[in-house]
Structure 1
Amino acid sequence: MYTPAAFAATDLALLDALVGADPFVTLVTVGADGAPFASHLPVLYRRDGDRVRLEGHWARPNPQARHAGPALAIVHGPHAYVSPGWYPDKEPAARVPTWNYAVAHLAGPLQVFEDEASLADLVARTSDRFEAAAGQSWRFEPGREAHRRQLRGIVGFRLEPTRIQLKAKLGQNHPVANQRAVADALARQDAPGSQAVAALIRQQPERGPAG
């Protein structure tokens, strides 16, 4: 991922926030023929210090379920259009439109598993996580044959990334006055993504470009 120094982030708290807000990732692998393949999947996320783990599952017919090797998980953060009309210095600096966003790339080897005990544990934890968020109470019941039978239709994976890239393009290459003005303008937009980007801008230390 192209990441200019001004937009490179190193605090994994940003990754926590991005996955916490949107745990639906794009998982990319490359097949034996050299062609990339992508799946869009919900994941469970865990971090212990610098160690990160993503867990999820595919439908068994998904070709990616037969891939055990290098993979890239893309965590999609909020994004928003930025109008040059919002910059206080728009005329003297001849400002142009841009897009502000935050995103994470997690690269590492995929570990694939198919045993019933591991799949049952994964499905149970996944349902607990997302049912609670939806205000519902469905649970995987390992004692029910009908529930266990459903496990035959999935394949699980774990991804423990060996490389994590965090990019937060939030106007750090602009004067502080521009950053504040953009945050204020985005906060007034109706789109949740715009408001989320405004919040991220306001969380950044107020530093303009060097020079």
Structure 2
Amino acid sequence: MYMPPHFTAKDQAHAATLIRENPFASLISCDDEGVPYVTHLPIHLEERAEGFVLLGHFARANPHARFLASRPTAAVTFLGPHGYQSPRIYPDLKRVPSWNYVAVHCTVRATLIDDPEGKDALLKKLIGDHEPPYAEQWRQLPQDFAHALLGGIVAFELTVLQLQCKIKLNQHRPESHAALKAGYAAGNEQERGLALWMERVGI
């Protein structure tokens, strides 16, 4: 994505925070005709010694697994809070509206996971992210039923090869910061999220 230096996050911890707070990602590959193919799905982030790894799964009927098997390089995007920026935040009138947002784009290399034990371990990580008490119910399912469910999915591990984290919060216009932050803090959920990010990056 377009990355002006003043919007480029230098601290990888910001990227990890954004991914964990906004795990519903877009996984993008090319189909057999070379057209972008997108699957929206939850992702689990692991920070390993070698870098970020993203874990998730498809329905077996989703052709995306086949695309990744033949073309394992793909992209994953995460979008955090975003919101309108009014020109009224500036002390002068020669300004125009804009849109602020926080996003992470990853270039990844995929490894498919199709053994029951590997898929079970991955599902337990996603359960831990979103509903830990459900883990006990999952363990109590009849073995043949759970095995059938696992057979209906293909899991994957995405090694992050390159990462971009963009935090667009008008950093290059300090005269606007006080009014922008106050407006976002009093706004809707997305705007309050932007106000929190302004705090995180010291604006």
User: Which TM-score applies when normalising by structure 2?
Assistant: 0.91
Cross-structure match for 2:161? 162
More helix by proportion, 1 or 2?
2
Q: 8 Å contact 1:80–1:101 — kept in the other structure?
A: yes
1:32 positional shift: 2.8
1:103 aligned to 2:103?
yes
Cross-structure match for 1:209? none
Q: Give the Cα separation in 2 of the matches to 1:50 and 1:204.
A: 26
1:49 positional shift: 5.7
Q: Give the Cα separation in 2 of the matches to 1:82 and 1:35.
A: 33
Cross-structure match for 2:92? 90
> Which one of the candidate residues 74, 77, 82 is aligned to 1:71?
74
Q: 8 Å contact 1:53–1:158 — kept in the other structure?
A: yes
Amino acid across the alignment from 2:2: Y
Cross-structure match for 1:131? 131
1:205 positional shift: 3.6
How has the CA–CA distance of structure 1 residues 49 and 116 changed in structure 2, closer, same or farther, with 3 Å as cutoff? Answer: closer
Q: 8 Å contact 1:131–1:138 — kept in the other structure?
A: no
Where do 5+ consecutive residues of structure 2 fail to align? none
Where do 5+ consecutive residues of structure 1 fail to align? 207-211
Q: 8 Å contact 1:74–1:106 — kept in the other structure?
A: yes
Amino acid across the alignment from 1:26: S
Q: Give the match's secondary structure for 1:6.
A: helix
Q: Give the match's secondary structure for 2:61.
A: coil
Q: Give the match's secondary structure for 2:193.
A: helix
1:124 positional shift: 2.0
User: Which TM-score applies when normalising by structure 1?
Assistant: 0.88
Q: Give the Cα separation in 2 of the matches to 1:99 and 1:42.
A: 25
Percent identity between matched residues is 29
Q: Kindly report the root-mean-square deviation, in angstroms, between the aligned alpha carbons of the 2 structures.
A: 1.7
1:137 positional shift: 5.5
Q: Give the match's secondary structure for 2:117.
A: helix
Q: Give the match's secondary structure for 1:103.
A: strand
